[in-house]
Structure 1
């Protein structure tokens, strides 16, 4: 049975966590073993880096420092969790992956996308998601939803214009790689979102049985 790597992307408050749990349960009913993980994070060291990245601080965090920490965390995650899981035949569902670095640091912060591409090459080479599900939502609605669940972390306190650039960054990537990306209208009721997810998962489930 072929393993698949699925990344889940989107801005703040789009409902990724709920949908990830739905996908996990869907795979479980199909007797598919899967690993649910996240970025930044996914290993003890990578989770420590996550805390460094997201905690509030008086010191200004240079955007390239942020980017490099993201990829340091990702390297640990890929080498110690994602690659071994895929090699063992497990499906991997990852809450954000490298597309998030392009969206947040590339488009959001305005960093050199060529440099991000180089980091991508050296950090995980030819490992890319089989499918990326992008949850798209108006940022005003997304931030209002996000504000209900908890206090904002350092990145979540950015400006609305920053998050609009992030959203456009995701949509640009989806337009550039339509064969990999699937876009979910996250403003829809949960039942409609789940129906879309079923439709997107179907080809991978068929391929897994080959």
Structure 2
């Protein structure tokens, strides 16, 4: 019987280095002969990627806050069923660029939808699935947005106001306060080598007896 894999998510606002550091951890796990699957939200499956495109493309018709929230969970349902759960069952570690903490931060705090509806949808869609570890890369909203703008054209959500991203950051920090055992904050505005040393430290602390 295969040992169930570990589910690790990377969270944070725009421009905090999630992709860079997720790739770094993927390579570290591969070097240590740990099977790993990398994915992202919204997205991760063919259908969920189409939903991602709907969410991030700028449309003439505005997307309501409620529609945005429901689309996020529609994509998540597909992602869990077709990627995350099968990979974990096979013993692979799943590294995911964003998961439900992002929904609490972006839709709950950023869009001012609050937590109660998200909590209901989380229970309905995830059926108890939560990450084993969440790495929250934290930086001031101004810093992250400046980095995001340097990458090129902004998508629909990246093009939001600074006050929106301030609420998103506060939403993330609130999540970390509520679940300190799972969500670990790493300062994303320190040198990259220090960020990555902190990540390896977390992995060794959380999973010292694994594999």
TM-score, length-scaled by structure 1: 0.97
Superposition RMSD on alpha carbons, in Å?
Answer: 0.9
Look up the match of 1:137.
139
Match of 1:59 among 61, 85, 94: 61
Look up the match of 1:169.
171
Look up the match of 1:148.
150
Deviation of the 1:204 alpha carbon: 3.6
- In structure 1, stretches of 5+ residues that fail to align are none
Look up the match of 2:203.
201
More helix by share: 1
- Aligned residue pairs total 209
TM-score, length-scaled by structure 2: 0.97
Look up the match of 2:116.
114
Q: Could you say what secondary structure the match of 1:184 adopts?
A: strand
Query: For residues 81-122 of structure 1, what are the alpha-carbon distances to aligned partners after superposition, in whole Å with 9 as ceiling and x for unaligned?
Result: 000000000000000000100000000001131111000001
Equivalent-residue separation in structure 1 for 2:107 and 2:35 (angstroms)? 33
Q: Could you say what secondary structure the match of 1:163 adopts?
A: helix
- In structure 2, stretches of 5+ residues that fail to align are none
Equivalent-residue separation in structure 2 for 1:180 and 1:156 (angstroms)? 27
Look up the match of 1:11.
13
Query: For residues 38-86 of structure 1, what are the alpha-carbon distances to aligned partners after superposition, in whole Å with 9 as ceiling and x for unaligned?
Result: 0000000000000000000111110000000000000000000000000
8 Å Cα contact 1:4/1:204 also seen in 2: no
